[in-house]
A and B are shown apart, each in its own frame.
Chain A
């Protein structure tokens, strides 16, 4: 992935890192920091979806279901058992990946439009359950009152993450760790096999790649990070509702992946940040916002399917000899 490496050259990397560290001093701890935290949650979601859509070529339209499942898991564990974020982060991820594994047994046997439909259907079933299982989820009312964690070592320190800058650093650490791990996976032999699955499943199969297992791995791993993001979101937002299952969340994540450039990891990170800021910048035209977004997505898909990273590479450097982001 030469192009991505060029964008993330060491100097840029350091500058961006520094910027992220001092961000609360630059933009204050008000509404802008809230947007920054939200965008960090979406960074995890978009990169995890990239593993599935960009690397493995499995177009899942149900990614937000894993996000919502993670958020509900965190909410229930906190409200019933008082589990803090440190635990729910992993349990939410585990619950989401367990569901993904079970679902994968069912949906990964089909490809193409059938897979797409099945993933939509799954998210809708999740929403119906969240709506109707009122004993557990309180239905449309949702579950309020999930608190951010408190880090307390007696006599040494007491850090309450309810303060926004504190939560920002927490989210930054979690998001950075997630992106690093996802990057590692994508650039490991497992990631190469995912690309093989995307490029030509039969050829991959013939070359000894267990495509079904790789597809399942991609599905489970991406669900883990989506669930983890759900937990982070629940503890930050303090409230979860069936709306999290809405198709519009999935569309948002897909726009982020495509805007940045699918199959590059760094692209979806950029896409997630841009696409959380952009809606705020376009606040004035609230009525026409979704129309503008859908037009952006439409134009991107038709004219720039390789996204911003691809565009930058196209204009800055000779075409790289390596892999090009091919279509799923």
Chain B
């Protein structure tokens, strides 16, 4: 049973990346009512930008991290101002299909630019493994945990105490009423979209040091993020974070029972949640 803390830790690390991706997806879905099936591609783009900046251009890791996150945020701004503005108020099937098309486009763009071979972002740390309380880990994994905690804390404080944060929460609850009291909805949409894209990119860079970077990673991430959103519920940011951690842990322990069906764990989780708590585990009306 002494392997349990190790699986717990591994699950948490992967869960952090799911949480970072899913928070943005929840925000976009909750605020703009668009199911963005291209969201995972921001994660992929973030990882590839960082790979390209550090391995080809020769920037150091931290500069690469910042520049790639900012670049993906800018890409998010451009997409929000163009395509997603068209999709605003469109039917669910239109927005789903359009974002799926965007997703395929971005994935194949990456395939043509960077090739299909899995790549790796070099870790900024010299030391290899560390052992903490009987858990084997690496500095990259600790960085993932640390940065997720920081992001969640910043998001929490930002949403609760800043003017913009309050405006976002108000829009989340009642879009028309928020617009009526003078909140600039367009600005908030762009901001939320950019932050969501940036967080997914951050997850991509951090996970790229631990696992590999390849064009197909975006589609998988989208599916995982939607599982998280369905499990966690769409009504709160906290649901996305808790759902992400839960999925990471469930997959980690599922791998003990049936390694080849590891990915099915999330699917089963979704089915159970939809059967018994259709609004998500942390849903408002459940």
Residues in A lying within 8 Å of B, measured CB to CB: 53, 57, 59, 61, 106-107, 109-110, 112-114, 116-118, 120-121, 124-125, 128, 131-132, 247, 251, 254, 258, 287-288, 290-291, 293-295, 297-298, 301-302, 305, 327-328
Contacts and interface: CB of A to CB of B under 8 A. Distances in A.
User: At the interface, is chain A mostly helix, strand, loop or mixed?
Assistant: helix
B178 interface: no
Given A305-B94, A328-B91, A118 B104 contact: no
A130 to B, nearest CB: 12
Contacts of B90: 327
A311 B250 CA distance: 49
A193 B24 CA distance: 38
B26 to A, nearest CB: 12
28 contacts: A59-B93, A106-B274, A109-B278, A110-B278, A112-B92, A113-B29, A113-B35, A114-B274, A116-B92, A117-B226, A117-B270, A118-B271, A118-B274, A121-B227, A124-B223, A125-B264, A128-B260, A128-B264, A132-B260, A288-B108, A290-B105, A291-B108, A291-B112, A293-B104, A298-B83, A302-B83, A328-B92, A328-B93
A302 B93 contact: no
Contacts, number: 108
Contact of A295 (B103, B105, B226): B105
A121 B87 CA distance: 24
Interface in B257-274: 260-261, 263-264, 267, 270-271, 274
A229 to B, nearest CB: 22
Given A117-B226, A124-B223, A328-B91, A132 B261 contact: yes
A216 to B, nearest CB: 17
Nearest to A131: B260
Given A118-B274, A290-B104, A125 B98 contact: no
B100 interface: yes
A291 to B, nearest CB: 5
Given A59-B92, A110-B278, A114-B274, A247 B101 contact: no
Contacts of A112: 92
Chain B interface residue number, banded: 35 or more
Given A247-B219, A301-B97, A125 B230 contact: no
Nearest to B102: A298
Given A297-B100, A298-B105, 13 more contacts: A59-B97, A61-B96, A106-B271, A109-B278, A113-B226, A118-B271, A121-B267, A121-B270, A124-B263, A251-B100, A288-B112, A293-B104, A295-B101
Interface string B96-125: 111011111101110010000000000000
Contacts of B226: 113, 117, 120
Nearest to A297: B101
A290 B106 CA distance: 10
B187 interface: no
Q: Which of A57, A113, A120, A258 neighbours the largest number of chain B CB atoms within 10 Å of its CB?
A: A113
